Amino acid sequence: MKKDSKIYIAGHRGMVGSAIWRKLSAEGYTNLLGKTSKELDLRNQQAVNTFFESEKPEVVIDAAARVGGILANNDYPYQFLMENLQIQNNLIDFSHKFDVEKFIFLGSSCIYPKHAPQPLKEEYLLTDSLEPTNEWYAIAKIAGVKACEAIRKQFEKDYVSLMPTNLYGSHDNFDLQTSHVLPAMIRKFHEAKENSEPVELWGSGSPMREFLFVDDLADAVWFALENELPENLYNVGTGTDLTIRELAELIQKITAHTGEIIWDNTKPDGTPRKLMNVDKLKNEGWTASTPLKEGIRKTYQWFLESKNGYKQVKI
């Protein structure tokens, strides 16, 4: 890939898109293109058509999506299904129509069946029913994966789908109503420390989860950009997991909270385990490099400096 190729990063202001922008800039790419949602509504077919007609990007990276945790998925199923379909369909279709040769589609590990064997392999896609709490988002993302696969099969274009595990990092969402477990814990432990209070968490703490620092995902996107991968779908993760209880204890230590952790066993645990098999991408030459402890420290520092205006502290 030429360093001056015009690369459009959809969703460049979000956690994933901004990490990709930072990575590509650091690698010397000089012609990056981004539009805010106010400048370009990706749900609007005509607006996206006009954008592609005028800008003519050579590469498109789709990091744009409506995302959220279990509560948000449960409360807004139609929006999570329809808006994600609209966004990705417009990007994929007009990329194809305007001869974009390289397209990188980003999804989520939730595309895999709820009861698929662990660790999750790419071949398990569409072999069983989905997790009900996020099936609307998952169905949209599966449609995107299959659309890219269809273009790859029919037109032999380099359209590839990367499915990351649970992501965290700078520019994450720390809203307790809509955030995912790791950023929610960072906020809970920090505020409990500030108020000298215990932290109450859902469930037993026994489920196991895998977490990927968002800058590592950006590195995987750069790897996919620099290489022509032989298949259409790749998992992106660390290949290792830990219990939610272990995660809580790690975040408690990093945030310097010294109070009690109270586990509310009346609340659901969710899926017992969710771990990605990352052998396919590893065999192509890519692996994650950021240890979880280091990634959480960096994320907490960003939370203190940027998200809530707290005074910078050394951690």
Query: Has residue 26 got a pLDDT over 50?
Result: yes
| pTM for the whole structure | 0.93
In sequence order, the 6+-apart residues with CB closer than 8 A to the CB of 100 are 57, 58, 59, 60, 157
What's the whole-number average pLDDT of the chain?
94
Q: What is the pLDDT of residues 93-124, one digit of tens each?
A: 999 999 999 999 999 999 999 999 999 999 99
Give, to the nearest 10 degrees, the angle between helix 292-302 and helix 244-255.
Answer: 50
- What is the predicted pLDDT for the residue at 308? 57
Q: Is the predicted pLDDT of residue 69 greater than 90, yes or no?
A: no
Are 151 and 157 in contact, with CB atoms under 8 Å apart? yes
Q: Is residue 67 pLDDT above 90, yes or no?
A: no
Instruction: Please tell me the predicted confidence (pLDDT) of residue 306.
Output: 83
Residue list, annotated binding site: 11-17, 106-109, 141, 164-167, 180, 188, 202, 209, 269
Catalytic residue of the set 8, 29, 112, 137: 137
Q: 154-166 pLDDT, tens per residue?
A: 999 999 999 999 9
Q: What is the pLDDT of residue 307?
A: 58
What residues does each domain of the chain span?
Answer: 7-307
Give the confidence band of 271 by pLDDT, cuts at 50, 70, 90.
confident
Radius of gyration over alpha carbons of the chain, in Å? 19
pLDDT of residue 149 exceeding 50: yes
Q: Which of 94-108, 134-148, 168-182 has the lowest mean pLDDT?
A: 168-182
Look at residues 153, 134, 20, 157 and name the one whose alpha carbon lies nearest to residue 84: 134
Query: Is 137 designated active site?
Result: yes
Binding residues for substrate: 188, 202, 209, 269
Candidates 1.25.40.340, 3.20.20.120, 3.40.50.300, 3.40.50.720; correct CATH number of 7-307?
3.40.50.720
Feature table: binding site for NADP(+): 11-17, 106-109, 141, 164-167, 180
Per-residue confidence (pLDDT) for residue 312, from 0 to 100? 42
